[in-house]
Structure 1
Amino acid sequence: MKPNQVESFLARLPDLRVLVIGDLMLDEYIWGRTERISPEAPVQVVDVVRGDLRLGGAGNVVNNLLTLGCQVDVISVLGEDEDGISLHRMLEKKKIGTGGIVFEQQRTTSRKTRVLAGNQQMLRIDRESREPIVETTQALLIKRVREMIPSCQVVLVSDYLKGLLTEGFLKEIIAIGIAAEVPVVIDPKGDNYDKYQGATLLTPNRKEAQIASGIVITDEQSLLRAGRLLLTNLQLDALVLTRSEEGMSLFSRDGSEIHLPTEAREVFDVSGAGDTVLALLGLGLGAGLSLADTARIANLAAGIVVGKVGTSTVSSEELIDVAGRLTGDSDAKIKHPDILSVLLKRERQLGRKIVFTNGCFDLLHVGHVKYLQKARNLGDLLILGLNSDASIRRLKGSKRPLISEEERAHLLAALKCIDYVVVFNDDTPLELIHVLRPDILVKGGDYSPDDVVGKELVESYGGRVDIIPFVDGKSTTNIIERILEQYRDE
């Protein structure tokens, strides 16, 4: 999809109301250090440093929706315990509609505790109930579904097999959705797929599709047979079969099929990717996109989220950025400082070194290009701060620049060695450097490190300054003088 199509889609999301039905849980993370073995048993001792409590299960679907600015209501069941009360408060704090949550006696709210040391998960402890909800709870939840679906544009069902989504409850959800003409998109689990019959769209992964279809998926042909069989037998409008590092395949009732390769630059962690795909597929249908465009935008989001560590969400800025990069349009590289700051935060989390340089770059020449290529080789991404027309006039006089800031930005963005261009209007890039926080600050020419604007700031958080000499005899001033000399008589 082109960046303008993605932007148009994202602009509609604040007006969308999404109903999420699924198993809520708490994800607890305990980080620590392990430097010794217990004297009581041959196990490592973890000295706890910090802990974190997050929404998990269907709550990660909710987080994805909130990140993109949607309105969200939730239908689920919680235990009448301390974790249930805490989880309910977390939802309320996020301004999520909780009118569809029912508390059930004798039920244990799901809580998964992960103990990590040295970025390695040492242990996971699960506290939860898996028994089916009681009939009175199911009747109350069906009533809530009937009341809440008419005001929503899409229903997302996240099944973790914790007892909420019984076969009877699922059939009612699907029937109510069909009657209200509201799409019902389901992330399935288990081996009993009959309970999902009639849903608008189902999102199994390769392993789940293999179990549900009974077809061993070993190649492209067996994958196609499994997808087509599930689509037909379950009477679905569509099925999206996610294929991890290979992307995803869309099967539609009209017989059309689309196979999308992964858009991930690097795969770090696939946990939570299914929740992101479910959220974006639902939003695409809710916003009125075609099935094909819905799958494409979900595939973009999946490619982003697997490049992050831990269950994560995807921002509007990231979706627009990736869409632009894939089209190869120079527009995609030209960013507002605030948006670029969000994108660079993710790059830092992946351990990438960010290089920053700045200048006017009026009349781009080989000296500029060689300088920028050398700067890019110092790290993983090169950010170019480009002086605006107004700032150049203040610095160099009223006759400059010769090339407008818009044209200069596009010319520079077309260079492979530049990852992002950001225009600034100040006389110096100090404020921009403060916002972007590069690891390496680069300047050219006859500067000494002590003369570089932003040196103290960058070094204060562990960065450094590098000086790269310009190519002798190559400058905008020299080009102007040569043109004047050669065409003076004319």
Structure 2
Amino acid sequence: MHNSPKVLVVGDLMIDHYLWGSANRISPEAPVQVVDIDKETTVLGGAGNVVNNLRALGCEVSVISVVGDDDVAHELKSMLDAIDTKSYLVKEDERKTSKKSRIIASHSQVVRYDKESKENITKSSESEVLKNFSTLCAEVDIVLLSDYGKGVLTTSLTKDIINIAKSKNKKVLVDPKGLDYSKYSGAYLLTPNKKEAQEASGINITDDNSLVDALKKLKDVAKLDISLITLSEDGIAIFDDKLIMRPTVAREVYDVTGAGDTVLASLGYSLASGKDIVSALEFANLAAGVVVGKLGSATATIDEIEHYRASINKTSIDAHIKSFEELKIQVERLKKLGKKIVFTNGCFDILHRGHVSYLDIAKSYGDVLILGLNSDASVRKLKGESRPINSEEDRAFVLSALESVDFVTVFSDETPYELIKMVEPDVLVKGGDYEGKEVVGSDIAREVKLVQFVDGKSTTKTIAKIQSCEC
């Protein structure tokens, strides 16, 4: 099995450009919002997102495309160089390199405007692409075609590429566009979604029987080895003499942007690594489950996929217990969604009414409550060698089952300062006994709240009562 499969991508490269800001007023010139821009970001889009996904998986990637002789093309080349991708970009003087700009105000897209050429590339460019492809094809393990309908993958060029690849025994995987899939005749597989498959096959997919009919039709039209359709939350279906379905494994779906690119890249990675189609299918489903849990066009690393594979075997309670790194990812996601984060910490040994009341009040101060739980070792330092009564695993599990607690993470430091620094909560909550005292992390949080304990309820008193047998 290859550790670093060599993958060749051919398709429509573009830049996804984001302008982030806030909209608090209406223009006096027209009934439209005025967006005050705070920051600007750019990422690789189109076939570039496939490249990004492949690089995240550790593949050696080469990409062939056609661009304009403009500033966007130069920027695109620099972005590819920055992720160690070999790029073979054919330039056309009159062509505009694709750039899609989105204005985002308060996490909502206000408008998108595109600057691009969509007409087919010239015959001269086709010849140049084919020349590069013929040279590179023998050196790679698999070929991926990312067709965004922007004119690079013309019908004649696509057919020539597939024929050359097949002559060198290279599998060709295609993310298709349009209605005529005979354009991709001879590919190993295509990755249309349900809507695209219905339009291309002319079959309305309503059940397993119509799904099989559509898969068979596409397999016949494009002379595929494997027929595949992605089914969003229902997973991925393939037809390889029989119907094989793998349901989605996403726990939480936040954004499906770029999920198709991830499926194409992860299937390519798996097959180039020597996996069979069913194993590749399962891997692609896991990778898609990771990226739809992120915002924007995203990628999934091998480590993230393996963590995710382990997490889906956890109970729903276990899923709320996060490592430091897992929590960091969740915090970044929550902040992008504009959620108000509340943080508290403690030992929470022998859970009682006072704890539950305290956590319920803490949660009321925001949208998400993150609880830093003292490890067994740190509890011993604070409370003595006889404590804790319950292990950190047991304490974390019980706390994660509470409706008020969203995430629990165990920390071993004497104070939760480093954890608070990572979370940067909007609200930091501590017990009423901190009145007049310095609260660790108060220099980081925007606000500190003190919650009074329920009178007469404490772990120490519970232990004393048990020891005195007054129960």
Length-normalised TM-score, structure 1 = 0.81
Q: Which residue of 2 aligns with 1:285?
A: 271
Judge conservation of contact 1:63–1:313 (CA < 8 Å) in 2.
Answer: yes
2:158 aligned with 1:170: yes
| Greater displacement, 340-349 / 443-452 | 443-452
Q: 1:21-56 CA deviation, whole Å, 9 max, x = no partner? A: 111123334567673254xxx675867735444322
Would you say 1:347 and 2:338 are equivalent positions? no
Matched, 1:84 2:73: yes
Q: Within the alignment, does 1:484 sit opposite 2:448 as a pair? A: no
Q: 1:405 to 1:185 in 2, by over 3 A?
A: same
Unaligned runs of 5+ in 1: 1-11
Give the alignment partner of residue 259 of structure 2, picking from 259, 273, 276. 273
Judged with a 3 Å threshold, the aligned counterparts in structure 2 of structure 1 residues 181 and 372 are, in CA distance, closer, same or farther, namely farther
**TM-score normalised by L of structure 2:** 0.84
Offset of residue 345 of structure 1: 0.3
Equivalences, count: 465
Q: Alignment partner for residue 142 of structure 2, among 141, 154, 160?
A: 154
Per-residue deviation at 1:86? 2.4
Q: How far is the alpha carbon of 1:301 from its aligned partner?
A: 4.2
Partner of 1:9: none
Distance 2:2 2:345 in 1: 36
| Match in the other structure for 2:213 | 225
- The residue number in structure 1 matching 2:418 is 431
Distance 1:321 1:381 in 2: 23
Q: 2:197 is matched by which residue type in structure 1?
A: A
Contact 1:28/1:51 (<8 A) preserved: yes
Structure 2 contact 249–312 (Cα < 8 Å) conserved: no
| Deviates further, 120-129 or 82-91 | 120-129
Q: Distance in 2 between matches of 1:359 and 1:370?
A: 14
Instruction: Quote the Cα distance in structure 1 between the aligned partners of 2:3 and 2:319.
Output: 23
Per-residue CA shift, 1:45-99, capped at 9, x if unaligned? 867735444322111222233344443221212223332222212211222112x
Cα distance between partner residues in 1 of 2:364 and 2:287: 29
1:74-113 → structure 2 map (5 Å cutoff): 74-98=63-87, 100-113=88-101
Alignment of 1:87-486 (within 5 A): 87-98=76-87, 100-114=88-102, 119-134=108-123, 136-217=124-205, 221-244=209-232, 246-258=233-245, 260-261=247-248, 263=250, 265-266=252-253, 269-303=255-289, 305-306=291-292, 309-314=295-300, 319=305, 322-329=308-315, 332-365=319-352, 367-369=354-356, 371-373=358-360, 375-376=362-363, 378-413=365-400, 417-444=404-431, 446-448=433-435, 451-459=438-446, 463-467=447-451, 469-470=453-454, 472-475=456-459, 477-486=460-469
Q: Post-superposition shift, 1:430?
A: 1.4
* Residue of structure 2 in register with 1:27 after alignment: 16
For residue 433 of structure 1, report the CA deviation from its aligned partner. Answer: 0.4
Structure 1 CA distance for aligned equivalents of residues 352 and 141 of structure 2:
53
Query: Does the 8 Å contact 2:4/2:60 carry over to 1?
Result: yes
Q: Taking structure 1 as reference, are residues 413 and 35 closer, same or farther at Cα in structure 2, changes over 3 Å only?
A: closer
Identity across the alignment (%): 43
TM-aligned CA deviation for residue 450 of structure 1: 5.0
Q: Secondary structure at the match of 2:331?
A: helix
Q: Secondary structure at the match of 2:114?
A: strand
2:194 and 2:158 mapped to 1: Cα distance? Answer: 22
Q: 1:88 to 1:180 in 2, by over 3 A?
A: same
Per the TM alignment, residue 110 of structure 1 is displaced from its structure 2 partner at its CA by 2.4
Question: What is the distance in 2 between the residues matched to 1:377 and 1:69?
Answer: 43
Q: Hey, what's the Cα distance between the residues in 1 that align with 2:33 and 2:402?
A: 52
Change (3 A) 1:407 1:44: closer
Q: Which moved more, 1:115-124 or 1:389-398?
A: 115-124
CA distance in 1 between counterparts of 2:285 and 2:440 reads 41
Superposition map of 1:34-53 within 5 A: 35-36=26-27, 38=29, 44=32, 49=37, 51-53=40-42
**CA–CA distance in 1 between the matches of 2:337 and 2:34?**
25
1:59: which partner in 2? 48
1:295, distance to aligned residue in structure 2 (A) = 3.2
RMSD across aligned positions (CA) = 3.5
Kept after mapping to 2: 8 A contact 1:443/1:467: yes
Deviation of the 1:340 alpha carbon: 1.7
Alpha-carbon distance between aligned partners in 1 of 2:405 and 2:307, rounded to the nearest angstrom: 14
Higher mean C-alpha deviation, range 190-199 or range 273-282: 273-282
Residue 361 of structure 1 aligns to a residue whose secondary structure is coil
Instruction: Give structure 2 stretches of 5+ with no counterpart.
Output: none
Q: In structure 1, what is the Cα distance between the partners aligned to 2:462 and 2:28?
A: 70
How far apart are the structure 2 equivalents of 1:321 and 1:415?
A: 24
Instruction: Check whether the contact 2:246–2:285 (CA below 8 A) recurs between aligned residues.
Output: no
Indicate if the aligned counterparts of 1:231 and 1:251 stay in contact, CA closer than 8 A: no
Separation in 1 of the partners of 2:406 and 2:347? 17
Alignment deviations for residues 293-325 of structure 1 (CA, whole Å, 9 cap, x no partner)? 433443444455455554344456764565455
